[in-house]
Amino acid sequence: MRPEQAEMPFAMVRGEAVTELPKDLYIPPQALEVFLDAFEGPLDLLLYLIRRQNLDILDIDVAQITEQYMRYVELMDAMQFELAAEYLLMAAMLAEIKSRMLLPRAGDVEDEEEDPRANLVRRLQEYERFKKAAEDLEELPRLEREVWQASAAPPDLHLERPLPDIDMREVLLALSEVLRRAEMYASHHIQRESLSTRERMSEVLETLKSGGFVPFVSLFRPEEGRLGVVVTFLALMELIKESLVEIVQTEGFGPIHIKAKSE
Amino acid sequence: MAEGLVQILEGALLAAGEPLSVQRMALLFEEQERPSNDEIRAAIKTVGERCDDRGYELVQVASGFRFQVRQSLSTWVGRLWQERPARYSRALMETLSLIAYRQPITRGEIEEIRGVAVSTNIVKTLMEREWVRVVGHRDVPGRPAMYATTRQFLDYFNLKSLDQLPPLAEIKELDNLSGELALELRDAGQNERSEPDESAEGKAVSSAEAEERGHDEEDAEKQ
Amino acid sequence: MAEGLVQILEGALLAAGEPLSVQRMALLFEEQERPSNDEIRAAIKTVGERCDDRGYELVQVASGFRFQVRQSLSTWVGRLWQERPARYSRALMETLSLIAYRQPITRGEIEEIRGVAVSTNIVKTLMEREWVRVVGHRDVPGRPAMYATTRQFLDYFNLKSLDQLPPLAEIKELDNLSGELALELRDAGQNERSEPDESAEGKAVSSAEAEERGHDEEDAEKQ
């Protein structure tokens, strides 16, 4: 049930019915859906109506705007549009403002009562600002529309993942945690040995790695002094105790040879 | 080395395909050979000058520097692609501008200003484009998400910072409205408003006043 | 126009992100303004010459021409994509510490103390890093390898000898500190990580304003 063209609303400008429909306000019924789609809601439609009549927002004539607005809303209804609640709400608000403006004022001295239009005007202004801001934003040169990121093919790359850095404290923290878990704090075994002994054990084993017998004395380095000799000796004792090395002396006071047990 | 630095930056800027910050440029160098930020900035300046009559230029956007094809060439360069660049609906652009100018802002607050519901799709699109992100939740019932724009948004719109957004239109003060209204009401029963000339005059006055009075408000706006 | 053509081609080549053939370059122009292929080729030659001492060059590949960052810059440019160093697992750190303090030690012995299996990968990683080496095999069934630390391990930690490692007694006290230390280490790890990642982190921050207003949520957001 589409309305006839004759039923289309005529614009009211400054209290007078415009006999000729301005081209931009005339909406052929078929186009109504598109027309309303073009609005971002009741505020947008209201702004359109005000702007089409070249009115200042501050200067709106609520009665006329309401009338026009209601015509559009009725039209939507007639077209069996699913009438958005927002449009109805706005219609109600316009009607309320209209009625308040018709009421006589208590006295002409008092005007602390706010203009009933004020809130609507404020909302319209606020909405218009952002409508404009959106238009400005739309105008900004935009990537992939007016400007493009320049790029070139990279050269051949040999990407390497860098090795993690660690802090000695992390090593210590890890050790303390593992030891706590193992409840090994009481172990005399660990506490007795100085680390230099264990280090020397590794060194001796490294020397013995080739597999053959090595003269006992060659493991000692006199330049390390007495302490070095003691450390090497303790390391050897520990290695023997842990049966990691074999020690051979073919005759009394003869040369002693050492060999890694497993090699 | 000074010459080498310029070339390294040129190469990196083109290879990166995205803006590079001075910090990121510094990380192109091992610590012992790393130029100071001032040296890098000086080199960037040279890099920019070296595109003087080229089809591209060096620009600074929010996340750093990038080479960019000159806007004046968009007619031709745009023909590289069959499809037209994406168009965004007015609803999306209005929502985006509200988030840009009023951040952080909730969906409810956007709806209040726009007078219509904001569709979930719009928010989704804005988030997917990484133009907008959730920066928190307002401490009101329902704890609605608050939205703000991202650095990518600025990059995309060719901006260094939010300051560079086009300024918001000023709001005309309403103060004089009630005065006008009182006058108007005295001519009771008369529905029609004043002559066009007169209203134009009133408009001029009110905007001048607004400029004066609305200044602080405007500044607050920009925060 | 000759000058304009060079710039249009420069812009298009940089915007395209892929090689452009002469034919495709010709299609950047409307028919009535379209240069001949010879004109385009001449302009391409100029485009190439204009990169003489730049960090990039114009190269011809199978499908056309493209700008390419000079190979000589790969050391620096490659750092754009350098992956952040991974962090070692706790299992690896424990294994390393046990090898340091209890060397020579077999995998079985490490497992006994740790109470869990030591993965082959951990040992492999430590050997590849050259922090750990095999110093022999224990004479028990299976002849398991015995591990010890290396010179490089000491060098890495700036130690002259293992003696300079804190004695176990101190580590015991460390246990009380471990909470504190763990925190400290986590912070250190964070700093280390955030540095090369700065730009990525920055991306999320659209503006000082948003950052200020939404600070707490900001952190949560990044998770």
Token output for A242: 């842990």
Residue C82 is assigned to a structural domain of this protein: no
The verdict on residue B179 lying in a domain is yes
Residues B77, A144: contact at Cβ < 8 Å?
no
Residue A97 in contact with partner chain B when CB distance is under 8 A: no
Question: Do C96 and C175 belong to one domain?
Answer: yes
Residues B25 and B121 in one domain: no
- Average pLDDT on C193-214 reads 37
CB B162, CB B100: distance < 8 Å: yes
Mean pLDDT computed over A24-28: 50
Asked if the Cβ–Cβ distance from B174 to A142 is below 8 Å, we say no
Give every CB contact of residue C214 below 8 A, 6+ residues apart in sequence: B104, B135, B136, B146, B148
A202 to C135: CB separation less than 8 angstroms, yes or no: yes
Please tell me whether the peptide bond between B104 and the residue prior to it is cis, using omega within 30 degrees of 0: yes
Q: Are B62 and B99 members of one domain?
A: no
User: Chain C closest CA to B211's CA: distance in Å?
Assistant: 25
Chain A hits for B70, CB-CB cut-off 8 Å, are: 147
Q: Min CA distance, B163 vs chain A (Å)?
A: 13
DSSP-assigned states of every residue in A48-64: HHHHHTT--GGG--HHH
Q: pLDDT grade, residue C7 (50/70/90)? A: very high
Distance, CA of C136 to CA of C145 (rounded, Å): 6
Lowest mean pLDDT among A34-43, C27-36, C68-77, C153-162: A34-43
Structure tokens given for C81:
């994509």
Tell me the helix, strand and coil percentages in chain C, rounded to 5: 60, 10, 30
B31 in A contact zone (CB under 8 Å): no
Q: Is A144 on the interface with B (CB under 8 A)?
A: yes
B88-126 tens-digit pLDDT: 999 999 999 999 999 999 999 999 999 888 989 999 999
Nearest chain C residue to A181 by CA distance is C114
Out of A56, A118, A125, the one facing B171 most closely (by C-beta) is: A125
User: Within a 10 A sphere around the Cβ of A139, how many other Cβ atoms?
Assistant: 10
Inspect the interface and report whether the beta carbons of A195 and C163 lie closer than 8 Å: yes
> Which residues on A lie below 8 Å from B186 (Cβ)?
108
Q: At what angle do helices B196-213 and B215-222 cross, to 10 degrees?
A: 60
Chain A contact present for B155, CB below 8 A: yes
Structural domains counted in chain C? 2
Measured CA distances, C71 to B34, B104, C56, C119, C221 (Å): 20, 46, 9, 40, 39
pLDDT-derived band of residue B20, with 50, 70 and 90 as boundaries? very high
Of A154, B22, B41, B66, the residue nearest C82 (C-alpha): A154
C176 to A169, C169, C173, C179: CA distances (angstroms): 14, 12, 6, 7
Task: Select the residue of A42, A135, A137 nearest B115 (Cβ to Cβ).
Answer: A42
Which residue, of B20, B35, B69, is where some domain finishes?
B69
**Nearest CA among C1, C45, C2, C4 for reference residue C22:** C45
Residues in B closer than 8 angstroms to A90, CB to CB, are 115
Amino acid identity for residue A107 in this structure: G
CB contact under 8 A, A155 and C174: no
Tell me the per-residue pLDDT of C41-50, one tens digit each, with 9 for 90 and over.
999 999 999 9
Looking at C25-93, which runs of residues are DSSP E strands? 56-61, 64-69
Point out the domain boundary residue: B17, B36, B69.
Answer: B69
Segments of A104-261 assigned E as strands: 214-215, 245-249, 256-260
Q: Are residues B98 and B151 in the same domain?
A: yes
pLDDT tens track for B122-152: 999 999 999 999 999 999 999 999 999 999 9
Half-sphere exposure of A5 (CA within 13 A, CB side): 6
CATH number for the domain including B41?
1.10.10.10
Tokens 């505020």 correspond to: A43
Residue C60 falls inside a structural domain? yes
Q: Is residue C135 part of a domain?
A: yes
**Chains in touch with C (≥3 Cβ pairs < 8 A):** A, B
DSSP state for residue B51 in the 8-state scheme: T
Nearest CA to C202 out of B62, A145, B16, B177 is that of: B62
Residue B82 lies in a domain: no
Q: Are residues B95 and B173 in the same domain?
A: yes
Q: How far is A152 from chain C (nearest CA, A)?
A: 5
CA distance C113 to chain B (A): 40
How high is the pLDDT of residue A86? Answer: 77
Interface test with C, best of B22, B63, B73, B139 (most C CBs within 10 A): B73
**What are the residues whose beta carbons fall under 8 Å from the beta carbon of C9, sequence distance 6 or more?**
B55, C25, C40, C43, C44, C47
- Half-sphere exposure (Cβ direction) of C12: Cα atoms closer than 13 Å: 30
Residue C181 in any domain: the answer is: yes
B12 within domain boundaries: yes
Over the stretch B70-91, which tens digit does the pLDDT of each residue have?
Answer: 999 999 999 999 888 888 999 9
Q: What is the ipTM of this complex?
A: 0.64
Nearest CA in chain C to B70: C11
Same domain, residue pair B45 and B110: no
Residues C182 and C122 in one domain: yes
Distance (Å, rounded) from C-alpha B59 to C-alpha B217?
33
Peptide bond between residue C104 and the one before it cis (omega within 30 degrees of 0):
yes
B120/B215 same-domain check: yes
**Are C61 and C99 part of one and the same domain?**
no
Dihedral over Cα of C179, C185, C188, C192: its sign: negative
Contact A137 B166 (CB under 8 A): yes
Structure tokens at C47: 């485009």
Q: What is the pTM of this model?
A: 0.62
**Identity of the residue numbered C134:** V
Q: Do C16 and B64 touch (CB under 8 A)?
A: no
Give the model confidence (pLDDT) of A46-75 as tens digits: 888 888 777 777 777 788 888 888 887 777
Let me know whether B11 and B59 are in one domain. yes
Quick check: B126 and B89 in contact, CB under 8 A?
no
Least confident of A189-193, A246-250, B206-210, C69-73: B206-210
User: Is C198 found in the same domain as C105?
Assistant: yes
Looking at the structure, tell me whether residues B130 and B199 fall in a common domain. Answer: yes
| Residue-wise burial string across A25-60, b where 16 or more C-beta atoms lie within 10 A, e elsewhere | bebebeebeebbeebbbbbbbbbbbbeebebbbbbb
Picking from C28, C195, C214, the nearest residue to B79 by CB comes out as C28
Interacting residues of A185 by C-beta distance below 8 A, sequence separation 6+: A179, C172
Do B101 and A125 lie within an 8 Å CB cutoff?
no
Q: Do C97 and A185 touch (CB under 8 A)?
A: no
Under 8 Å CB pairs connecting chains A and C tally to 188
**In which domain, by residue range, is B153 found?**
90-222
In a domain, B30, yes or no: yes
Chain B positions touching C196 (Cβ under 8 A) are 27
Residue B33: list chain C partners with CB under 8 A: none
**Cα separation of B126 and B129, whole Å?**
5
Under DSSP, the state recorded for A177 is H
| C2 vs A234: CA distance, rounded Å | 87
Q: Quote the longest CA-to-CA distance of chain B.
A: 86
Per-window interface: B 185-214 vs C, CB < 8 A: none
> Which residues 104-123 of chain B have a CB within 8 Å of chain C?
104
Q: Write down the pLDDT at residue A84.
A: 67
Per-window interface: B 25-64 vs C, CB < 8 A: 27-29, 50, 53-56, 62-64
